[in-house]
């Protein structure tokens, strides 16, 4: 069932992103007087098509991993004399630039609309309260203590752990002092703490900002209550059910969920006798954790369970909501912040500060799409906005084959006063295909490694 949800979610996400992107090209091309022959969402054999009154064929194709807008162009096929004024290649260089850049801009606009909707409806963030600080860590040396609320990172206000992680990821590679503002309670004034870091998070795979600082977020107590069961795994086979509360393991009391997890992880292949509470009854069930090999000689136990969700106290929740007008500025600001973060991540990957193993391909995108859809509409819309920004940024990279590569040629044409030769463009096309193909293969490889 999870696989089907992932597939459906990624089809919806990619379908929306591709449609918006290609519609950007299509809409501006029509305004510039270019005849559009085909608007396709997906590649391969059409599974649905129709023509409008202008002769444009709208297509939904079988492979939903891209799309294209095919325009009348003398470089691709002969154009009748009476239609030459509608050919793409006959338009001014500035019109061609507008048509090409419209696709990525449509993705940024989609992100702005998505964030605007979230800010108007309102989102709920968990207050960033520190649960514990690891001894000897940068957080401990900087003076942070459990029970404090983080209110700013590097001088920028934060309201939840998601915002904190974004600010921290932007500091990858930093050496020196990381400035964090925190307060002891809501009524107290905040003060600045300086956390010493050196080549922070460089090539960490994946980057883990909070654990690297030695900070564990506060969480409400988690009783050892079974929430989810993986079909066919040890817990399911032993007869455990959702809602069961684990009281003892081999006669020893279980304090909370993490205590239970520690016991299971330390017992691969060993039979454990659980005493559980179910509907006011006490049951004894035997379960044998499976063995998960981490590295040579190291293995941990697992039984295929997840913890039941718990309610957060009201005082630890922050509602983020804006009026329709104020939300526009916030949405534009968030889109700009995420765009700069994506560009910075690409730069850091190129110079070796971020491991290329953080690349994600279609498999990871499908997994995250499914997870975000199951987590709720807010999570799904946030992921859609971020992915739309990523698509816009990647398409603007100056790589032939991508929109950014075409823009590079057109700006060179503006400077030189004449188009780049077809021979140079053909060479660039081969280089671009090799680069994009290599990146795609790397992303799929890392996807498979993560699954393994």
Please write the tens of the pLDDT for every residue from 390-402: 999 999 999 988 9
Q: Report whether pLDDT(85) > 60.
A: yes
**Least confident segment among 34-43, 94-103, 288-297:** 288-297
Q: Are residues 354 and 442 in the same domain?
A: yes
How far is residue 423's CA from residue 391's CA, in Å, rounded to a whole number? 28
Q: Report whether pLDDT(229) > 80.
A: yes
Which of 22, 149, 163, 275 is labelled catalytic?
22
For 311-375, the three-class secondary structure string (H helix, E strand, C coil) is CCCHHHEEEECCCHHHHHHHHHHHHHHHHHHHHHHHHHHHCCCCCHHHCCCHHHHHHHHHHHHHH
Q: Are residues 107 and 145 in the same domain?
A: no
Does the global pTM surpass 0.85?
no
> Across residues 281-293, what is the average pLDDT?
89
Q: Are residues 369 and 452 in the same domain?
A: yes
Confidence of residue 294 (pLDDT cuts 50, 70, 90): low
Strongest mean pLDDT among 22-36, 152-166, 207-221: 22-36
Q: Are residues 428 and 345 in the same domain?
A: yes
Q: Are residues 209 and 271 in the same domain?
A: no
Q: Are residues 338 and 450 in the same domain?
A: yes
The answer as to whether 371 is a domain residue is yes
Q: Are residues 337 and 436 in the same domain?
A: yes
Least Cα distance to 272 among 231, 262, 226, 292 occurs for 262
Q: Based on the residue annotation, tell me whether 22 is a catalytic residue of this protein.
A: yes
SS3 call for 229 = strand
> Across residues 174-181, what is the average pLDDT?
92
Q: Are residues 327 and 450 in the same domain?
A: yes
Phi and psi at residue 152, to the nearest 5°: -155, 145
pLDDT tens digits, one per residue of 11-22:
888 888 999 999
| Domain of residue 328, residue span | 92-122+323-452
Which residues lie across from 69 on neighbouring strands? 39
- Structural domain count of the chain: 3
Q: Are residues 334 and 423 in the same domain?
A: yes
Q: Are residues 452 and 327 in the same domain?
A: yes
How far is residue 58's CA from residue 48's CA, in Å, rounded to a whole number? 8
Q: Report whether pLDDT(1) > 60.
A: no
Q: Report whether pLDDT(452) > 70.
A: no
pLDDT top residue among 31 and 440: 31
How far is residue 158's CA from residue 264's CA, in Å, rounded to a whole number? 37
Confidence of residue 436 (pLDDT cuts 50, 70, 90): confident
> Across residues 283-311, what is the average pLDDT?
83
How far is residue 107's CA from residue 125's CA, in Å, rounded to a whole number? 26
Q: Are residues 363 and 433 in the same domain?
A: yes
Q: Are residues 449 and 355 in the same domain?
A: yes
pLDDT tens digits, one per residue of 314-367:
888 888 899 999 999 999 999 999 999 999 988 888 888 887 777 777 777 777
Q: Are 87 and 74 in contact (CB under 8 A)?
A: yes
Q: Would you call the peptide bond into 33 cis, given omega within 30 degrees of 0 as the criterion?
A: no
Q: Report whether pLDDT(195) > 90.
A: yes
Confidence of residue 312 (pLDDT cuts 50, 70, 90): confident
């Amino acid at each position: 069932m999870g696989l089907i949800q992932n597939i459906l979610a990624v089809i919806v996400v990619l379908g929306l992103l591709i449609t918006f992107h290609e519609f950007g090209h299509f809409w501006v091309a029509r305004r510039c007087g270019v005849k559009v022959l085909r608007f396709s969402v997906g590649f391969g054999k059409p599974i649905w098509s129709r023509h409008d009154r202008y002769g444009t064929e709208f297509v939904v194709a079988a492979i939903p991993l891209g799309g294209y807008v095919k325009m009348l162009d003398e470089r691709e096929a002969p154009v009748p004399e009476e239609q030459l004024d509608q050919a793409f290649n006959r338009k001014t260089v500035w019109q061609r630039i507008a048509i090409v850049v419209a696709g990525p801009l449509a993705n940024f606009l989609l992100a702005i609309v998505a964030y605007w909707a979230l800010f108007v409806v309102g989102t709920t963030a968990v207050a960033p309260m520190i649960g514990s600080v690891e001894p000897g860590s940068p957080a401990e040396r900087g003076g942070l203590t459990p029970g404090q609320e983080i209110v700013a990172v590097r001088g920028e206000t934060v309201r939840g752990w998601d915002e904190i992680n974004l600010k921290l990821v932007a500091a990858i590679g930093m050496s020196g002092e990381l400035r964090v503002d925190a307060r002891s309670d809501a009524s107290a004034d905040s003060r600045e703490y300086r956390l010493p870091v050196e080549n922070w998070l460089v090539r960490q795979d994946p980057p883990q900002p909070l654990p690297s600082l030695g900070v564990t977020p506060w969480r409400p107590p988690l009783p050892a209550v079974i929430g989810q069961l993986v079909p066919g795994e040890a817990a399911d086979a032993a007869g455990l059910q959702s809602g069961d509360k684990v009281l003892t393991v081999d006669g020893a009391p279980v304090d909370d969920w993490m205590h239970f997890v520690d016991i299971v992880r330390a017992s691969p292949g060993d039979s454990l006798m659980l005493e559980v509470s179910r509907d006011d009854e006490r049951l004894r069930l035997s379960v044998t954790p499976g063995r998960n090999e981490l590295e040579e000689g190291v293995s941990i136990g697992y039984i295929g369970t997840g913890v039941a969700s718990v309610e957060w106290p009201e005082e630890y929740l922050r509602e983020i909501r804006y009026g329709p007008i104020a939300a526009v500025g916030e949405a534009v600001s968030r889109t700009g912040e995420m765009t700069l973060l994506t560009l910075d991540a690409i730069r850091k990957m190129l110079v070796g500060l971020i491991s290329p193993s953080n690349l994600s391909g279609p498999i990871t995108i499908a997994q995250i799409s499914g997870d975000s859809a199951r987590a709720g509409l807010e999570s799904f819309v946030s992921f859609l906005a971020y992915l739309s920004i990523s698509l816009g940024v990647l398409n603007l990279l100056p790589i032939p084959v991508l929109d950014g590569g075409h823009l590079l040629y057109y700006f060179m044409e503006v400077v030189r006063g004449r188009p780049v030769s077809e021979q140079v463009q053909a060479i660039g096309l081969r280089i671009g295909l090799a680069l994009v193909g290599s990146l795609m293969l790397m992303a799929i490889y890392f996807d498979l490694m993560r699954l393994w």
